Structure 1
Amino acid sequence: MVQVVGSGSARTCAHVRSLAAGLVARGVRVTVCAPHATEPDYGFTDVGARFVPLADCTDPEAAVALRAVCGDADVVHAHGLRAGALAVPVLYGRRRRAPLVVTWHARTQAAGARARLMWLLERRVVRAARVVFGTTSDLVDRARRHGARDARLAPVSVPVPRAGSARPPRPGEGADGRREKTRAELGVTGRPLVFAIGRLAPRQGFGTLLTASRAWRGLEPPPLLAVAGEGPDRAALQRRVDDEELPVRLLGRRGDALELLAAADVAVLPARWEGRAVVAQEALRAGVPLVATAVGGLPELVGDAALLVPYGDAEALADAVAGLLADPARRRSLAAAGRAQAATWPSEDETVAQVLSVYDELTQGP
């Protein structure tokens, strides 16, 4: 089985690593084709998969590398439209054509001529696939409108963090001790911590989040908003923090995101569109109250276990966070609801079993 990854998205790579591990454990030979930089972070070879580095999906060398790998593949599973667009011509140029499965992880936000090009790309990839998995119901519906032969809701779990991905507790240091130490390192002893993580880019909604943070300056004690991540908007967001004297720290790229999340009083996800967002799943699993935008797959993911606000509505976002900070009982209720909601999501084992059953359908047909 060949797994093709078109970008270094944390959500996609974590899913592919989990899938590869489960397939290898079941005796399936797995090759992961992904950008070179993903292997050190996700360790596909650590779980027994073969790793083939790919250049950018638009680079002819990527097609050459994938063509060599797909020669004896039983199934090619592309994760994302870019990966699908790379796989389609490679497979259709072969006399023996392995069936193509595509998981549509996220909807691309585009406008104008680029939106038209993306629409054509979606249509081409979706129609070429034998099965399309959409990570949200709206992506499944969109695939069907494009003419997908078989579109289904994707079985996608968020894996348990890799061993060693978080600092092990020191002797005598429990979860509470680690939490307080993390908070002290951020300078939030005796004040609330609001946490967000993501790429610092326009569609992630961090501009709206900074606007919302203005309202928190009058709270007593005022919370700190800590934002982990890098991206093209970093400099502009930092200027706003400095010029407006906002209670915000931009932390940059962090390897201890799970510890930061666990230390927070409230987690915030202000994005324009999300599918099964990793940070949302990790927040609910950790029992951290979540405020998120009511977009994409988030409402069906979190159910009643998070507070949902309209995208781009800074006032609603500010009010939701402030309300939770002022109501410890409500936070405890959401924490319990989050853990209960997380228990309803498919496990890694269930996800692998469902995907493997689809592979079996395609390779053991009539």
Structure 2
Amino acid sequence: MTLVNTWLLLLITMSMTFYCSSSRALGGDPLVPGMFVFGDSLVDNGNNNFLNSIAKSNYIPYGIDFNGVPTGRFCNGKTMVDMLGEMLGLPYIPAYADPTTAGAKILGGVNYASAAAGILEETGQHYGERYSLNQQVLNFEGTLYQLRTQMSARNLTQCLAKSIAVMVFGSNDYINNYLLPSLYPTSHKYNPVEFANLLLNHYTRQILALYNVGLRKFLLAGIGPLGCIPNQLATGEAPPGSCVSYANEILEKFNVGLRSVVNQLNSNHTGAIFVYGNTYGAMVDILNNATAYGFYVIDRGCCGLGRNQAQMTCLPLSIPCPNRNQFIFWDAFHPTQAVNTILSQRAFSGPPSDCYPINIQQMAQI
């Protein structure tokens, strides 16, 4: 090999290593090499656009505050992971199902989240195709195969160990499974404690599968107060001004269990860090102190039809509310960009009551 070819090979190797360790983002070097996102519609950034599903948001007014372009995000603007990525110094994480998500584009991470997806394989099946938790883990393993062709095994190991995995699951297992007894038998087979344990057992197995292939930093988001979302309020099962208490009570079993899982995983896996995101606590704080945060509408969607603007979700070409920053909920299920801003900030730099045992900023420094 000539001296010129040797230097060329060295430069290529250094370039790949540098990209993995910095994923060049506007405004300077990022705090982590990448972010891998697993979850449901709260963090889906366009995967369902490419699936045979009725759970899609690839039309206006979705994205009205995302440069006026619908991307498949279930929000008027940015999701929580978009903002976390910005705070970490990363570019927008590409959707796994997008055919252009390949080559150097995957070096800063990939988003596998899918609307209607759950921890259980059958969750959300009435919406059509979706990437369940199991499938998202398999999709990640496909990404690993591609990454192995772009960097050495050592560099890949280091890249994965320093990257952050964000996991947002569980909501659909309740609102699109357990709380739909006419479509799913789970509420007849399991009491709330048994169902929470079922979910946590499945979830833990897949978290460990991701750990076993190299990921070491995990944010595991708890479930928010589903009894307070417009979809549940529209059932009429709660007095005016109140949330559906049963929905909130049963998912509490899952959240308490997930926090315990985090403690157990941290005890048993030295060299890794697992963090519990207290989504429930943060959302209850926002709901209870809405005006202090600048919100004046807490019980209905900005876009939708029927009771609480939630009996029919945001349809194509619907006219949304003009004062979106004053609404907590964008549609029947999802928060506005304004709420996502608060949730991401609390996850990034909040105290242990928001993000336990450490926050994302601290995790990035490890």
After TM superposition, the score normalised by the length of structure 1 is 0.35
Structure of higher RCO (CA pairs closer than 8 Å, 6+ residues apart): 2
Report which of the two structures shows the higher radius of gyration computed on alpha carbons. Answer: 1
